[in-house]
Amino acid sequence: MALPVQTQAKYWTIATAILVAALWFLGDVILPFVLGGAIAYFLDPVADRLEDAGCSRALATAIISVLAALVFIIAILLIVPTLVSQAVSLVNVAPDLFNQLQGFLTERFPALMDESSTLRQSLNELGQTIQERGGELVSAVVGSAMGIINVVVLMVITPVVAFYLLLDWDRMVAEIDKLLPRDHAPTIRRIAADIDATLSSFIRGQGTVCLILGTYYAIALMVIGLQFGLIVGFIAGLITFIPYIGALVGGALAIGLGLFQFWGEWWTLAGVAAIFFAGQFLEGNILTPKLVGSSVGLHPVWLLFALSAFGALFGFVGMLVAVPVAASIGVVARFGVGQYQQGRLYTGIVGKGEAADD
């Protein structure tokens, strides 16, 4: 005999409360496991492809681990130091850029830049704030990053967790499937398949798009000679998962920096703009349709809300789990709406009569 709906709801509510409490109290302790799980989930299709090619699961996991270690070492040695250096330099040079902007506006639009004008006062306050808080901001960011993702987590725990989860991924899924309540197993499998399809499209697909576009923007901007091309490309690629926002923010930042560096070199400035137009075309017509698909089901506003809410409640770990949880809630909500539209509350007597007439 199946459990009453009220009892089932009570058990699921308790399970949800335990999960929220674990995120709340454990916080940074579970960070390497969350990161390791995300990496294993991201790489599981690669391991499946290698298995289809004739490799054992252990050999496929070993190949992926070696390649990932090589990429990580190259990034640490070549990319990360340059990225940090450019970020610090950008913060340090920001007051000079604002002074140059103020001088340009004073020369071109003297009426707007009068000592008593709101624009002049706003620029002065903004420049002073950046000059006073810029170095402090960088120090705080670096300090917090080292506090959250320390060397041990980054270099040892997370790769080990990812390795073992990737090795046993299919086995874990099979064991979880055995524990599903028999009465609801088909429905849970269907919902889980929809969640997996959504996460596969968004996390794997959109993550790949962000990586490709970030690399493209960084390399193209450095080739054209933009001083902070790497950091601008990194920022643009990082937020590409929000449609149009990555190109708009990255383009505005790149063109703004280019105005000071390439003033009078209009062909170079046009080249900076063309890089982002080409990136937007590449994303909208090739990368996103091929790698993400057209029916992900995650609205940008819902994503921003999830990132903000989970980040505020659970910190960095909350931001990591925000997208999977948002995707899962979206799938469950669509399932609930479908059930509601098939139910008596929605159709009523009129709906029953229409169905009978058909």
Please write the tens of the pLDDT for every residue from 43-82.
Answer: 888 899 999 998 899 999 999 999 988 888 887 777 667 6
Predicted pLDDT at 337:
85
Say yes or no to pLDDT of 42 above 70: yes
Matching residue, tokens 């270690």: 69
CA atoms of 255 and 26, how far apart (whole Å): 43
Q: Given the structure tokens 């009426």, which residue do they identify?
A: 111
127-142 average pLDDT score:
53
Q: What is the pTM of this model?
A: 0.65
Least confident of 28-32, 90-94, 130-134, 316-320: 130-134
* Average of per-residue pLDDT across 248-261: 78
For the segment 23-49, the average pLDDT, to the nearest whole number, is: 82
Question: CB pairs under 8 A, 24+ apart, for 265-270?
Answer: 268/224, 268/225
**What pLDDT, on the 0 to 100 scale, is given for residue 179?**
85
- Name the percent of the chain lying above pLDDT 70: 70
Q: What is the pLDDT of residue 5?
A: 64
- The pLDDT tens digits for 13-25 are 888 888 778 777 7
SS3 201: helix
The single-letter code of the amino acid at 156 is: V
Are 252 and 235 within 8 A, CB to CB? Answer: no
What are the pLDDT digits (tens) for 109-120? 565 555 666 656
Write down the mean pLDDT value for the chain: 76
- pLDDT greater at residue 67 or residue 268: 67
Which residue in 210, 212, 196 sits closest to 238, CA to CA? 210
pLDDT (0 to 100) of residue 357? 53
- Name which residue leads in pLDDT, 179 or 27: 179
Most confident listed range (125-139, 292-306, 330-344): 330-344
- The whole-angstrom separation of Cα 69 and Cα 291 is 24
pLDDT number for residue 211:
86
Confidence of residue 34 (pLDDT cuts 50, 70, 90): confident
The answer to whether 49 and 61 are in contact (CB under 8 A) is no
Q: Which residue has the tokens 């400035």?
A: 269
pLDDT 10s digits, 289-316: 777 665 556 677 777 788 788 878 777 7
Residues 136-175: pLDDT tens digits? 545 554 454 444 455 556 677 888 888 999 999 989 989 9
Q: Dihedrals φ, ψ of 319, to 5°?
A: -65, -30
Which of residues 294 and 254 earns the better pLDDT score? 254
Higher pLDDT, 234 or 260: 234
pLDDT at 3: 65
Q: Which two tokens stand for residue 157?
A: 């725990």
Q: Measuring CA to CA, which residue among 151, 268, 159 is closest to residue 220?
A: 268
Give me the pLDDT at residue 128, please: 59
In angstroms, the CA 204 to CA 291 distance is 8
Torsion of CA 315, 318, 323, 329, to 10 degrees: -130
Helix (H, G, I), strand (E, B) or coil at 111: coil
Nearest to 165 by CA among 56, 324, 40: 40
pLDDT of residue 50: 92
178-222 pLDDT, tens per residue?
A: 888 887 788 888 888 888 888 877 777 778 888 888 888 888 888
